[in-house]
A and B are shown apart, each in its own frame.
Chain A
Amino acid sequence: MSILNGPRLNFWGGIRTDVSLPNNSPTIPYDGNDEWPLFDLTTSTLAPTAQSYTDDQLNNMINAPDGDYYTAGGWNHYGQHVVDMQNALISSQGNPGSISTTGDMVGQPVYLLGSVDPVTGQGPVSGPMMVDLDPTSSTTTQIFVGGLQIGGNSDIQLLIRSNTVCSSFDVAGRVLLPAKMDAPGSFHASGTFQLTFPLSSIVSWNQNSSGLRSIIQAPGATGIVLRFVMFEMCPTMTTEQLDADYAAGRYTPNPSIGRVIGTLAPAFADEPLNCQPGRQLVNQSTGNAGYADLGGNGYLSIDMVNVIPKQTFRAVRDDITSPIGPNANYGPVTITAGTTELATLDPTNRFLFDYYVYGGIVDLPLTANQLQAVQTAALAINAPGKVAGTTLQATESTYRVYADQRNVYLEDYPNGLSITLQVRYLGGPVPKATEIDLQAAAPAVYDEPQYWDFLDFPASLTVNPGQLAISFPVTVKAGSAAQAGFVALTYTANGLPSSGYFTSFRKYAQTDFGIPAGTHITWELMYPNVLRFHYLAFPAMSRYIPLNQPDAVMGAKNPILARTSDAYKGTTLFMPVVRSMSPCQRALLRAYLTGEPWQPPQ
């Protein structure tokens, strides 16, 4: 299925993500207090203790050197949230078992695009946007995308326009060493994303390209799927460089930069759009995952791009386009199904040594015996060696639960929503009745029940033998309108932690801000309740429209009203980019801009 079984275009290169950091924590270190309350991130407002300070004072506090590691507000206060790939070039193409480094698409650049304006049809004027549904947790993030392009602007090979959003999976260990460096701990990690574009979203393509034709015209194809992983990420500037930059008033964005490896393939019906299908194998040392599937072509295809970690972070911090190099060498890598050996790959095998050229995907031809073993026994990947105290033991999650729904804004579902879980046993339907347990919990620091206990959902589900999927309703508890926060709903099959999957939810509060209905909204009523948080947390927005200047905000009334409206919601142009403004805040802003009497949304 999809990248595992279909024709592929593989690419690799550099990637940058320019996320603004201060909203990752409600507190900053200040005045001898490591946790000085700055923000209420559930309501996107300032903490009461911060409200009496001026904007300039708070800004300076956020930008103050930490003394040890970047600044009080993190390593990037001026991020614009754009995600862009740098020199990501197609490196191989073909069908499973015959992937080649030559072909008509090899060498072409791959780009993710921002959205065309849904109202004017112009653009894109921005790029894809990385947005945390829950900025306080580090388990998953999102990228809003408006399309894809292969080829430069003067030689477009494939152009897709489609608004969609992907979420990261398997945020787990990917780079072993060093233990520490001048970067957030996530330098060890990778995040894997999947997007699916319907065939109808293709604007143009080079019809002379056999590589493209094999994907677009694959029998049964309903779209194009893209899987990509970003890893070996670190902020561009070091602590010293950033502190000097801020001291000099340059306030340069400090995006995280690193590597990307990706694969494009046909998407087929009944496949998840944003979540990798297949049998999951988890590296027991790093927690990272691979995915395997039996194609009808006699191959077992395994997406191993993250199974084996890289031993050491790249030598040159800002060099993200040189060859990535092989992953850690644990010795010969043996892939088994139960007790049956499927293959042993020498570390010099090109699918290991140059794995990134091939999208990290390995296609193993199987004998009839091996095929039988794969269909009935758990897969495993092992190697004899040790690297940096870790071993290579990837074992199959025999039961696997997964879903497209990874990050959900509850405001988009005022009447609740239905979550559909895919449930598999060794990649197929469950052989016997299987219980799925559901648990809600705080994903991060907002762990008081008021901040996460607002969902109604069944405590458990039963999946019948032969059943592939099960759906269930999620609604908001009665009486929880005033609550705001974040919750992770976790699903586990038969009590097996290895089967687990989660969906993150964000809920905004219903509030009138203490302002009586019918009030004429002034700047003094609006700014502290709506824009002030965004001015301080995301100053890059103010480079477009200075959010603390009444004349600028009013002068930009029309674009602000447009881009905070529902018409822009699924696009990269929605404001604010970080989707941290509640419906009630948007209503208050609208009342200010239009002069209409205040009517709190119900």
Chain B
Amino acid sequence: MKTTFRFCVMLVGLASLPALILEQALAREQAMPSTQASNLSCQPPSTAPVATASQDQFDQYSWQMFIALNWPAQDGQRGDPDCAKQLGDPGYTVWQTYKTVEEIFLPRGANPGPWNTPQTAKSLGIINIAALKNSTQVNAVDQAVGGWLIDQAGNPTYYDISANETSYDYIVNNNFYNADVVSKANNINFPNGVIEVKSSWRILTPNDNASHYLTMLARVATFNDQGQRSGVTEAYLGLVGLHIITKVNGYPQWIWSTFEQIDNVPPKELVHGQWVDQPTPGTTYSYFNPTAPLVSLNQSPCDWQTQGGQLVCVPKPGTTFQTPNPLNRVTPIAEITNGVNTNYRTNPDVQKSVLKYYQLITTQRPLMPDNPSNPLGQPTPSLSANVTMESYIQPNSSCMNCHSMATPVKSPYKADFSYMFKFANAPVGKTTKDEE
């Protein structure tokens, strides 16, 4: 498919689409006549498998969630699917209509208002993947400026964080958008039905096949070669990673699902007892460089320096902000999960959508969610890593362990596994915003 395109300024509101996206959607419709999806649900699963269920049952739960969240959204109703539409139909997906942290946590801790406000243009400024997940800043004391991830084309990876209406209502009803309030809260406990999403995006270039990505036009921050913000531009983005966390009855520790675009890094195969990268011939991977020395893989680009009382990522000697950070996958996707991926990706309705170019990495959940002796519940599997988001900490990456440390800004109290409150602002006084 020809991938020449032009940038357009995104119009405010839900209805307008860049010409290219519409063009591609129409091309898909013409190539594959739409048929009614019969075995995929536009609604997310309301219950999760029992704790003793097998990995593949949880993986199916993840895929059902992924499909429902990627269903075309209802016009004029944020967070709801349009079940009359087909998977892959043009328009924002359900999760793309969730409210982002910028929409939830307004300057000066202002009330962000009702849920169903018109959607604004997408603007992505977060480039740090932050070893301490989600914690991009707000107040200096808790600031953790993470390293960036530069793809093989030399462009940064952008991140966005959003939450569904149930989460939003809980935050608003408790005034937790106000840092002064949430920093004193010692009883944060999200209700069941909460969904939080963290997405990662790369800039699509003429060398990329945009039809293999969920795409989005957005305003993005630009950076100089030292990684300092230099301005903004419009960019055509492709989704490379999606974390989905769900608070479900019976799982006070939540359920943790993560997906990647299939061309991020090659799969691993077991060869003579060793797991080795097996690139598919002819595939250009977004983050993998077959000639990169092994010791250079999965290494943070940062030479951390204290500047103005804060840790700042400075490119290591001999590198710049544009230097690609080569990655591979440390933990191969489990065979059982690959089986579920195959089942869903070959589903005729999924085949009609861009979701066929995505794969589940794993579903982490507590094996014993109700064990008084082990309140963390025994994260299973013990590791879970999305190469685009836990790039440099893959051997030690556990969603549940890390998120169990989550607190609001300047607070010693637990935040129920959510780092969202790091974005809360206080009504008065100086707050340090992320300059990105």
Interface residues of A (CB under 8 A from B): 54, 56, 59, 78, 82-85, 111-114, 117, 119-128, 149, 152-153, 247-253, 523, 539-540, 542-546, 549-552, 554-559, 562, 595
Contact = CB atoms under 8 A, between A and B. Distances in A.
Contact of A551 (B147, B396, B401): B147
B16 interface: no
B130 interface: yes
A152 B147 CA distance: 43
B331 A558 contact: no
B131 A546 contact: yes
Given A248-B332, A558-B141, A111 B372 contact: yes
Contacts of B407: 558-559
Which bracket fits the contact residues of B?
Answer: 35 or more
B311 A542 contact: no
B304 A84 contact: no
A249 B331 CA distance: 4
Nearest to A547: B396
Interface in B126-171: 130-132, 135, 141-147
Contacts of A126: 374-376
A122 B186 contact: yes
Contacts of B142: 555, 558
Contacts of A117: 412
Given A543-B402, A556-B132, A122 B144 contact: no
A342 to B, nearest CB: 39
Given A113-B373, A545-B132, A551 B302 contact: yes
Name the 7 nearest CB pairs between A and B, nearest first. Answer: A555-B144, A84-B373, A552-B131, A543-B401, A249-B331, A555-B132, A542-B396
B120 interface: no
B401 A59 contact: no
Nearest to A83: B373
A125 B395 contact: no
Interface in B388-434: 392-398, 401-402, 404-405, 407, 412-414
A120 B186 contact: yes
B265 interface: no
A542 B401 CA distance: 9
B274 interface: yes
Nearest to B309: A595
Contacts of A542: 393, 396
B118 interface: no
Contact of B404 (A125, A149, A539, A595): A125
Interface in B105-138: 130-132, 135
A251 B373 contact: no
B104 to A, nearest CB: 21
Contacts of A56: 295
B373 A111 contact: yes
Contacts of A83: 373
B230 interface: no
A127 B311 contact: no
B258 to A, nearest CB: 15
B382 A114 contact: no
B17 interface: no
B300 interface: yes
A247 B414 contact: no
Contacts, number: 144
Contacts of A556: 132, 144, 405
Interface in B151-205: 186
A550 B301 CA distance: 12
B267 to A, nearest CB: 13
Q: Which of B330, B372, B375 has the most CB of A within 10 A?
A: B372
Interface string B290-303: 00000100001010
B76 interface: no
Contacts of B295: 54, 56
A523 B304 contact: yes
B273 interface: yes
B375 A127 contact: yes
Contact of B275 (A149, A247, A545): A247
B16 to A, nearest CB: 39
A549 B395 contact: no
A78 B331 CA distance: 15
Interface string B7-45: 000000000000000000000000000000000000000
A248 B334 CA distance: 9
Given A127-B375, A152-B370, A555 B186 contact: no
A544 B402 CA distance: 4
B382 A552 contact: no
Nearest to A247: B275
10 contacts: A82-B374, A127-B371, A248-B270, A249-B332, A249-B395, A543-B382, A543-B397, A552-B132, A555-B132, A559-B405
Given A248-B275, A250-B331, A551-B130, A128 B373 contact: yes
Nearest to A251: B383
Given A119-B412, A123-B414, A127-B375, 10 more contacts: A120-B414, A248-B270, A248-B331, A546-B393, A549-B300, A551-B147, A555-B132, A555-B143, A557-B141, A558-B412
B214 interface: no
B383 A249 contact: yes
A551 B144 contact: yes
B405 A544 contact: yes
A544 B393 CA distance: 11
Contacts of A252: 381-383
Contacts of A543: 382-383, 396-398, 401-402
Contacts of B304: 523, 550-551
B414 A125 contact: yes
Nearest to A121: B186
A299 B405 CA distance: 52
Contacts of A546: 131, 393, 396
A550 B392 CA distance: 12
A331 to B, nearest CB: 39
A253 B382 contact: yes
B273 A247 contact: yes
Contacts of B372: 111, 113, 149, 152-153
Given A122-B413, A128-B373, A253-B382, A551 B402 contact: no
A554 B330 CA distance: 25
A123 B383 contact: no
A121 B187 CA distance: 11
B162 to A, nearest CB: 22
B244 interface: no
Contacts of B306: 595
Given A84-B374, A121-B186, A555 B130 contact: yes
A554 B144 contact: yes
Contacts of B69: none
A539 B382 CA distance: 12
Contacts of A54: 295
Q: Which of A54, A113, A550 has the most CB of B within 10 A?
A: A550
B68 interface: no
A154 to B, nearest CB: 8
Nearest to B302: A551
B280 to A, nearest CB: 20
A540 B383 CA distance: 10
Nearest to B396: A542
Contacts of B186: 120-122
A554 B135 CA distance: 12
A235 to B, nearest CB: 15
Contacts of A85: 373
A433 B381 CA distance: 61
A131 to B, nearest CB: 16
Interface string B80-99: 00000000000000000000
B375 A124 contact: yes
B355 interface: no
A374 to B, nearest CB: 39
Q: Which of A149, A247, A595 has the most CB of B within 10 A?
A: A247
B242 interface: no
B130 to A, nearest CB: 7
Contacts of A119: 412
B375 A555 contact: no
